[in-house]
C-alpha cells in the first residue's frame, strides 16, 4: 500500500522555484475532442498525471492511437473501432463522460457508463443528457449505461439551468459537427472551456463567444488536425501559492497564467500574503507571520474555485480568527474536515458552511485522503504539523498533480512516498 510520509515543521519555510504543469481539466476535454477528426492532434504541455493515463486507456478502446514524447501527446483516431466507454474506466474517472458528445457527433453512437457519485457529491449528468436529446440524440439509461444514438445532431438553442463545465464542453464538441447553428446559453466561463474552444477553432470549428455566457457554434461537416498547447493548471498554481503563504515562505511559480487566479490571489493578499507578478507567466508569493481570517464562498469561474476550497480551508486553520467557508458547487465537498480535525484543526460544519477557528497548532497523525483536492489539503497540513504525518489514499493525489512530492521536496519539504 502506498502512503505519503511527511516530517512536518510548524516553522517550515518553503523557498525556491516551481514549474507549474499543464492543466488536468484542460487536457481531458482536449483529448476527448481529438475524437472529432480522423486527423492527427498534437497537444503540448500536457500534465503526466493518472487521469491522462485513464482517459487515454478509454481512447485506445475507442480506436485511438497515440504516443507521448516528454510532455507532448500525439493522438489520432482514424476510425472509431468501438463506441463503448466501459464502467471500470468511467468509474476510475468521471471525466470519461466527455467522450459522449464527440462520439455521438463523429460516430452517431455512444455507450458510456453512467459515472457514479464520488467523494465530493452526487455529480449528476442530467444537463449533458437533456441537452444532447435537444440536439436530436435518442438516449436511454440501461443497466448503468448511457446508450445514445444520433444519425445527425441538429443545431438548436440550449440554456443550461446551471453552469456546468463538463456539460458546456460536451455540447461544444457535439455542436461542432452538428447540422446548423447551436446557441449555448449560461455556459461555464472556466479557462479550460476557453482552451477547448481554441482547440476546436484550430480544428476548423466555427465558434463565437468563447469565455462568455453565450457561445454560438455553426456546425461544419468535418474537422481537421492541429497542434495546440494546454494552459497551465490554475489549481496546481493556487495550491503552491497557498503553500508559500502558509509557510511564510518565498516561492516563485513559473509557466503560469496569473490572470486565471484573480480571486485566489486576492484572497491570499487580504489574508496577508504578498503576491507579485514578476513577468507575464511568473508569480512570486511570500508568506507573512500574521495570517488574517477570510470568508470564502465557492462559485463558478471567475468566482473562488471549488477546487481550491480544501487547500484554502487548511490555510485558514492558521489564521488568527474565525473564517466561514461556504461550498456552493458540490453537495459533499467537506471530506477533508474530519481528517484536518484529526490533526488538531477546529472546524465545525453547518450545512454548506464550515466555520474554521484559527490559529490551531497541528500535530502529525495517520490520515486518509478521499479525493484529489482534499489530498492536496492534507499534504499542506502535514507540512506544517509537528511530527510525522502518514497519508493513505495517495492514489487520489497522482490523479491531478504531476510529481507533487518532488516539487515540494525541491522547495524544502520533508516528504516521500513509501510502500508499507
Ligand atoms: C469540472 O467538473 C472539473 N473537472 C471539476 O474539477 C471542478 O470542480 C468542476 O468542473 C467545477 O464546476 C473537470 O473539468 C474534469 P460541473 P464537472 O459540471 O464538469 C452540477 C478536480 O478536482 N451538475 O461544472 O463534473 C454538479 O453536480 C475536479 O479537478 C448537474 O447538476 O463539474 C455540480 O453541482 C473536481 N448536472 C455543478 O453542476 C449535470 O449534468 C457543477 O458541476 C452536470 C453538473
Between 119 and 140, the more confident residue is 140
pLDDT band (50, 70, 90) for residue 289: confident
Active-site residue 187, yes or no? no
Rounded distance from Cα 199 to ligand 1 centre (Å): 21
- Please state, rounded to an integer, the average pLDDT across all residues of the chain: 95
Residue nearest to atom 28 of ligand 1 (CA): 307
Rounded distance from Cα 188 to ligand 1 centre (Å): 10
How many other C-beta atoms are found inside a 10 Å radius of the C-beta of residue 403?
15
Q: Dihedral of the CA atoms 51, 53, 57, 59 (nearest 10)?
A: 80
pLDDT score at 94: 85
Instruction: Evaluate if residue 3 carries a pLDDT over 80.
Output: yes
Residue nearest to atom 21 of ligand 1 (CA): 307
Spatial contact of 138 and 148, defined as CB atoms under 8 Å apart:
yes
- Cα–Cα dist 41/65, whole Å: 11
- Cα–Cα dist 335/241, whole Å: 22
pLDDT score at 371: 87
Mutate to test the pocket of ligand 1, among 114, 119, 123 (most ligand atoms within 8 A of CB): 123
Rounded distance from Cα 56 to ligand 1 centre (Å): 20
pLDDT score at 185: 98
Spatial contact of 219 and 232, defined as CB atoms under 8 Å apart:
no
Tens digit of each residue's pLDDT (9 = 90 or more) over 266-277: 999 999 999 999
pLDDT score at 7: 97
Rounded distance from Cα 14 to ligand 1 centre (Å): 32
Verify cis geometry, omega within 30 degrees of 0, for the bond prior to 302: yes
N residues, the chain: 420
Mean pLDDT, range 205-214, rounded to an integer: 97
Rounded distance from Cα 208 to ligand 1 centre (Å): 23
Tens digit of each residue's pLDDT (9 = 90 or more) over 78-136: 999 999 988 888 888 889 999 999 999 999 999 999 886 666 777 789 999 999 999 99
Instruction: Evaluate if residue 211 carries a pLDDT over 80.
Output: yes
Mean pLDDT, range 220-233, rounded to an integer: 98
Share of the chain above pLDDT 90, in %: 88
Mutate to test the pocket of ligand 1, among 32, 101, 164 (most ligand atoms within 8 A of CB): 164
Tens digit of each residue's pLDDT (9 = 90 or more) over 17-74: 999 999 999 999 999 999 999 999 999 999 999 999 999 999 999 999 999 999 999 9
Residue nearest to atom 31 of ligand 1 (CA): 124
pLDDT score at 357: 98
- pTM exceeds 0.85 for this model: yes
Rounded distance from Cα 123 to ligand 1 centre (Å): 7
C-alpha cell read off for 289: 507571520
Mutate to test the pocket of ligand 1, among 21, 22, 25, 187 (most ligand atoms within 8 A of CB): 25
Q: For residue 329, which atom of ligand 1 is closest to its CA?
A: 34
Residue nearest to atom 10 of ligand 1 (CA): 165
Q: Where are the alpha helices (DSSP H) in 349-416?
A: 372-384, 395-400, 404-409
How many other C-beta atoms are found inside a 10 Å radius of the C-beta of residue 91?
15
Share of the chain above pLDDT 70, in %: 99
Q: For residue 235, which atom of ligand 1 is closest to its CA?
A: 29
Residues with CB under 6 A from ligand 1: 24-25, 28, 95, 121, 123-128, 162, 164-167, 188, 192, 306-307, 329-330, 372-373, 400
Residue nearest to atom 41 of ligand 1 (CA): 164
Tens digit of each residue's pLDDT (9 = 90 or more) over 326-349: 999 998 899 999 999 999 999 999
**CA-based nearest residue to 376, from 242, 270, 285, 207:** 242
Q: For residue 121, which atom of ligand 1 is closest to its CA?
A: 27
Q: Which of 118, 216, 220, 390 is catalytic?
A: 118
Residue nearest to atom 1 of ligand 1 (CA): 165
Is residue 55 within a helix (H) or strand (E), and if so which, with residue range? helix 50-62
pLDDT score at 205: 98
Rounded distance from Cα 166 to ligand 1 centre (Å): 6
Q: Which residues fall within 8 angstroms of residue 372, CB to CB, at 6 or more apart?
A: 396, 397, 399, 400, 401
Amino acid at each position: 500500500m502506498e502512503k505519503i510520509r511527511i516530517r512536518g515543521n510548524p516553522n517550515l519555510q518553503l523557498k525556491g522555484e516551481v514549474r507549474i504543469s499543464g492543466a488536468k481539466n484542460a487536457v481531458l476535454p482536449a483529448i476527448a475532442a481529438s475524437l472529432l477528426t480522423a486527423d492527427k492532434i498534437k497537444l503540448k504541455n500536457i500534465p503526466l498525471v493518472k487521469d491522462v493515463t485513464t482517459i487515454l486507456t478509454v481512447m485506445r478502446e475507442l480506436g485511438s492511437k497515440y504516443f507521448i514524447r516528454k510532455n507532448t501527446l500525439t493522438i489520432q483516431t482514424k476510425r472509431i473501432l468501438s463506441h463503448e466507454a466501459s464502467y471500470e474506466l468511467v468509474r476510475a474517472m468521471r471525466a470519461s463522460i466527455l467522450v459522449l458528445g464527440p462520439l455521438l457527433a463523429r460516430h452517431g453512437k455512444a455507450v458510456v457508463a453512467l459515472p457514479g457519485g464520488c467523494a465530493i457529491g452526487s455529480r449528476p449528468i442530467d444537463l449533458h443528457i437533456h441537452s444532447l436529446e435537444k440536439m436530436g440524440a435518442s438516449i436511454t439509461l440501461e443497466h448503468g449505461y448511457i446508450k445514445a444514438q444520433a444519425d445527425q445532431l441538429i443545431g438548436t438553442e440550449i440554456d443550461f439551468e446551471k453552469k456546468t463545465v463538463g456539460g458546456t464542453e460536451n455540447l461544444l464538441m457535439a455542436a461542432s459537427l452538428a447540422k446548423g447553428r447551436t446557441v449555448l446559453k449560461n455556459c461555464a466561463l472556466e479557462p479550460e472551456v476557453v482552451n477547448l474552444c481554441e482547440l476546436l477553432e484550430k480544428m476548423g470549428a466555427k465558434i463565437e463567444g468563447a469565455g462568455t455566457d453565450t457561445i454560438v457554434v455553426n456546425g461544419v461537416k468535418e474537422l481537421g488536425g492541429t497542434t495546440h498547447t494546454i494552459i497551465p493548471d490554475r489549481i496546481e498554481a493556487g495550491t503552491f501559492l497557498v503553500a508559500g503563504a502558509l509557510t511564510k515562505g518565498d516561492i516563485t511559480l513559473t509557466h503560469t497564467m496569473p490572470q486565471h487566479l484573480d480571486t485566489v490571489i486576492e484572497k491570499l493578499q487580504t489574508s496577508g500574503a504578498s503576491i507579485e507578478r514578476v513577468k507575464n507567466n511568473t508569480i512570486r508569493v511570500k508568506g507573512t507571520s500574521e495570517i488574517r481570517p477570510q470568508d470564502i464562498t465557492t462559485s463558478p469561474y471567475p468566482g473562488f474555485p471549488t477546487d481550491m476550497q480544501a487547500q484554502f480551508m487548511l490555510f485558514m486553520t492558521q489564521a488568527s480568527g474565525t473564517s466561514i467557508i461556504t461550498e456552493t458547487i458540490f453537495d459533499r465537498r467537506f471530506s477533508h474536515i474530519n481528517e484536518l480535525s484529526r490533526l488538531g484543526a477546529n472546524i465545525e460544519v453547518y450545512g454548506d458552511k464550515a466555520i474554521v477557528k484559527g490559529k490551531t497548532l497541528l500535530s502529525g497523525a495517520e490520515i486518509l485522503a478521499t479525493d484529489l483536492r482534499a489530498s492536496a489539503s492534507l499534504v499542506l497540513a502535514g507540512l506544517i504539523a509537528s511530527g510525522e504525518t502518514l497519508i493513505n489514499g495517495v492514489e487520489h493525489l497522482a490523479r491531478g498533480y504531476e510529481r507533487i512530492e518532488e516539487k515540494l521536496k525541491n522547495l524544502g519539504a520533508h516528504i516521500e512516498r513509501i510502500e508499507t
